[in-house]
Structures are given as C-alpha cells and as structure tokens.
Amino acid sequence: MRILVVEDEPTLGRQLRATLEGAGYAVDLATDGEDGHYLGSTESYDAIILDLGLPEIDGLTVLDRWRKEGRDMPVLVLTARDSWSDKVAGLDAGADDYLAKPFQTEELIARLRALIRRASGNASSELVAGDVRLDTRSGKVTKAGEPVKLTAQEYKLLSYLMHHKGKVVSRTELIEHIYDQDFDRDSNTIEVFVTRIRKKLGTDIITTIRGLGYSLEESDPANA
C-alpha cells in the first residue's frame, strides 16, 4: 500500500513518513500544494494525507482539483485545531475523513487503515484467503494459525493482493503500490517476491495469470 503525505511542516512531514514506513507503507512526501497536486494526479496512491494550510496551492484547492480530474483515492485532511469550518470545507471538497492537529499518530494510522480497507471493499481489519490470514492492525500473517515471517516488501505485496482478492493485479500495478517514487523499480523483483511468498505460505494461493499479472483466489483448504 502506497501513501502520499502532503505536509509543509518539515518535522511533521518527516515524522509522518517514518511512522508510516514503520507501519509497512510505501510513502511519498510533498512539501507544497503544487508538488502534492502533481503527484496525486500522476501517481497511484492507496490513500493521501493532505494538510490544508500549504504553500503554492492550498489543500482545499488541491483536493477539489483531484476530484474534478476524477481521482477518487481516499483523502484524509489535516485541519487546524478546532476549526469546524475547515472540517466542513474539507468534507465538501471531497475528503473522506479528517483529523485535527495535533493528533496521535496511532489514530492517524488507524483511520488510514480503515479508509484503505473501505476503498477496497473490505469491512474487517483481518483479511482472509483460504487458511491465510493477514491482520492489518498488527501487520502479522498466519497460515492455518501458525505465524508466517515475511519481509517488509513481501508483506506489502501480499497485503495489496489480499486487499484486492479475486481481481487480476498486474505487475505494473503492484510496482506502483508497493514502492515509493524514489525506489529503483524493477518488475522482475515482483516475480521473485511472489515466489518467496508462495514458498513461505506453503500453498499456491497466488495464481499467475499469464500476460496479465496475479490473482489471489479464495482457495479451499480441503482441496489444497
């Protein structure tokens, strides 16, 4: 899952990036409205955290432009403390949620997880495919109740597929959603990650769709 943070306060921006990376997200950081708008218009994000008070272009205008361009990713706006008018304006401009500054990063991450889940049609914070379970709160994966150790990149890839279970996900889409913009992207590494995940999960829950990508299907453990 890949997140864009648009925040002009350098310390807060760096903190958010570090915290979100620690929580297993690929993160891009923009420090003004122009850069933020550009990234949100041209890159693929699973959610965006948008400060409203930004240099160059203010956050509300950025959000309004994305929505007019048809960009429908979930957006959580950061508002000034106790500014109800900011909250109303943010929601009216197409925000999916808001959080007033200062906030607890735990709350921000919980809201973000919920936004991403809802956007992909998952109501529960635990994602299930066959006997494989992925807990989006703890970042833990189990197979038939036994813990499975995944690297950060393997987790990102599996998490993306589990959020989009039953759909065919191309390599390009995976690359766009598990790496930040500064990462040296190599589509061959995706195949390597998939092979490792299959090995670790001991079952072929990820199906290769020749020429199209991958699909994670609900396998029946009884027939596995």
Q: Which residues bind Ca ion (CB under 5 A)?
A: 8, 51, 53
Minimum CB distance to Ca ion, residue 53 (Å)? 4
Minimum CB distance to Ca ion, residue 54 (Å)? 6
* Residue with Cβ nearer Ca ion (53 or 94): 53
* Residue with Cβ nearer Ca ion (60 or 129): 60
Which residues share a beta bridge with 146?
143
* Residue with Cβ nearer Ca ion (58 or 180): 58
Minimum CB distance to Ca ion, residue 9 (Å)? 6
Here the tokens at position 7 are 């925040």
Minimum CB distance to Ca ion, residue 177 (Å)? 27
> What does the alpha-carbon distance between residue 163 and residue 121 come to, in Å, rounded to a whole number?
8
Q: Which residue is nearest to Ca ion (CB)?
A: 53
* Residue with Cβ nearer Ca ion (51 or 131): 51
Question: Which is nearest to 172 in space by CA: 158, 196, 195, 189?
Answer: 189
Pairing relationship of beta strands 132-135 and 126-129 according to DSSP bridges: antiparallel
> What does the alpha-carbon distance between residue 33 and residue 50 come to, in Å, rounded to a whole number?
9
> What does the alpha-carbon distance between residue 154 and residue 78 come to, in Å, rounded to a whole number?
30
Contact 203, 219 (CB under 8 A): yes
Minimum CB distance to Ca ion, residue 78 (Å)? 8
The amino acid at 175: I
> What does the alpha-carbon distance between residue 66 and residue 212 come to, in Å, rounded to a whole number?
28
* Residue with Cβ nearer Ca ion (23 or 30): 30
